[in-house]
Amino acid sequence: MRKIRKPAPDRNAKKPNKNARPAKGRAAYRHPFAYVPRQPNPYEKILWDYEEYERAICAEVLAVGNGLKTEQDFAGVMGKYSSLFSPKNVKYTRHLADCLFGRALIERHDRAAWSLLEGLIARKLAKAADDLGTAQSRGQVHCAGRNVPYYDVAPRLAADRDPERRERLWKAYLGFVEDKLNPLAIEHNRLLLRTMNRQGFVNERDFAEKRKKISLAELFEKLSPVLAATEEPYMEAMREYVRKRLRLRFPGMSRAHEAYFLGLREFDRLFPARRLLPVCLETFHGLGLELETQDNLRIDAANRPGKDSRAFCVGINPPEEVHLSIKPRGGLEDYASFLHEAGHAWHYALTSESLTYEMRAMPRSNALTEVYSFLFEYLVQNERWLTTVAGLAPDQAASVAERLNLADLYLLRRFIGKLEYEIEFSKQPLDNWHNAFAYRQILSARTGTAYDDVHYLLDMDEDLYTADYLRAWLAEAQLREKLVRDFGPDWFRSPAAGEFLKGLWAKGESWDNEDLVRHIGAEPWDPSALLRRFIGSPT
């Protein structure tokens, strides 16, 4: 075999200077100890891209919700990050969750996999969601010779004392929903089911149960005793109030009057808009929370046209940047709404920075953060808070608390009914006639109000949020009893209670709702505390 020999060296060639730097045009000289930035691995790159996407989508939510733009463009945002929400990335992240060892690592990657899958599904639905969202933000309901913006219908129904005008506006609103929104909602629902099937899920319920690790049927079973135990006192109290105060029949009251009943307009004079921020700030001061100096928490209280009448909170990479938006109109509902969203805001703003991104910004559900929102919102039902902080007389406080308790029981029964309907809906998601009939029958029976079948799709919360609310209802009652036991009935004026809550909020989204309940020594989904709140001794 012929050997390959190296050419002989040129003895006359100039020896290279080992200390010389490369000539111009060649690779730059690098000191042997120079710092070279580490390139992120594929998973880190996914998290960085996801954080950028979250910032972009939150900016869109804020712009539309705050009335700074009227055309929702989630599709445009999703289009910029189409490579992030790819089947390849979902498969890769799922593979990491399946092959790694250790509970913490598995949980982190599992959450990331579900978040990417949710984004992939949202990307497929973005155009349909934009069409529906834009139709709502631009929508005009024609009634009595004038146009009412879609988002202003609910506030007007809540404020109008004339039942006949409420009925006229409600009928016009139903016509708008039927003609303009339902065709878009039907198309969105059809596309959602097809997308879920292509990703290997039976329907949205199947997806939500696997991601949240819960059973909707089991949750409904746990809440059924609440329906049974509250049925008689609820119907009796509603019958007396609706017939005497609203001059309407019950059961069978039109849903045109639901917003007015829940708005508690008879107490508006006790809760002027000018006192909203002072009262809420005093509440936080009592717990040792200083909203004014919380740099990462920003409040938008401007009353601009086109702004969503509902208060909302957006956390961007908690705890880095938190936005709290409200459109003050005055009235008890404003106070309750602001306190509710403040619960979200404090949870996000005081999340520990030491947590990994997945445990700060990729929750399995929103049930945990709703616990803290309910905790603050329900202060408006606390007679001691109403007298010591809101400044009401004892008899006024008693009237407000009693009336709010009835309104909240209405909402609780409504949401249990919504859960029951969503379970029924999941059996035949595309049978519009059957689902419209089931919606009307179930919700009317649970609330005593005559529900219209027109809302059988629009009244369904995305990602089955109904279950998150109900889990939060159960857990909040347990947490409140814990605060009363440990810090007294005036726990909302105890800095020690504030420190306790800060410790919970620092956990961010690393806990599920049920982890919080176990931490305070209670049993998840135990309805006893919730029942004590409505038909037992108040805490």
Is residue 56 within 8 Å of 80, Cβ to Cβ? yes
Q: What are φ and ψ of residue 90, in 5° steps?
A: -60, -45
For residue 536, give Cα distances in angstroms to 98, 509, 532.
47, 32, 4
Which residues pair with residue 297 across a beta bridge? Answer: 322
Is residue 325 within 8 Å of 64, Cβ to Cβ? no
The H-assigned helical ranges of 287-356 are 332-349
Is residue 377 within 8 Å of 340, Cβ to Cβ? yes
Comparing CA positions, the residue from 178, 128, 129, 168 lying closest to residue 148 is: 168
Q: How far apart are CA 151 and CA 165, in angstroms?
A: 17
Residue with tokens 């959602």, as numbered in its chain: 192
**HEC per residue, 88-131:** HHHHHHHHHHHHCCCHHHHHHHHHHHHHHHHHHHHHHHHHHHHH
Q: What pLDDT score does 7 carry? A: 43
Residue with tokens 């746990």, as numbered in its chain: 222
Is residue 423 within 8 Å of 224, Cβ to Cβ? no
Question: How crowded is residue 536: how many other Cβ atoms within 10 Å of its Cβ?
Answer: 12
Q: How far apart are CA 77 and CA 123, in angstroms?
A: 9
Is residue 19 within 8 Å of 29, Cβ to Cβ? no
pTM of structure: 0.88
Which residues pair with residue 321 across a beta bridge? Answer: 316
Q: How far apart are CA 267 and CA 70, in angstroms?
A: 33
Q: How far apart are CA 272 and CA 253, in angstroms?
A: 29
464-490 CB burial, b ≥16 within 10 A, e <16: bbbbbbbbbbbbbbbbbbbbbeebeee
For residue 323, give Cα distances in angstroms to 63, 127, 139, 312, 349.
12, 26, 26, 8, 9
Q: How far apart are CA 375 and CA 35, in angstroms?
A: 50
Quick one: residue 434, left, alpha or beta (phi over 0 = left, psi -120 to 50 = alpha)? alpha
Q: What pLDDT score does 22 carry? A: 47
Q: CA-based Rg of the chain, rounded to a whole angstrom?
A: 28
Question: How crowded is residue 366: how many other Cβ atoms within 10 Å of its Cβ?
Answer: 20
Q: How far apart are CA 270 and CA 291, in angstroms?
A: 24
> Tell me, what DSSP letter sits at residue 392?
-
Q: Pick out the chain residues at pLDDT < 50.
A: 1-14, 16, 21-29, 31, 33, 36, 537-539
CA atoms within 13 A on the CB side of 426: 21
Q: What pLDDT score does 175 carry? A: 95
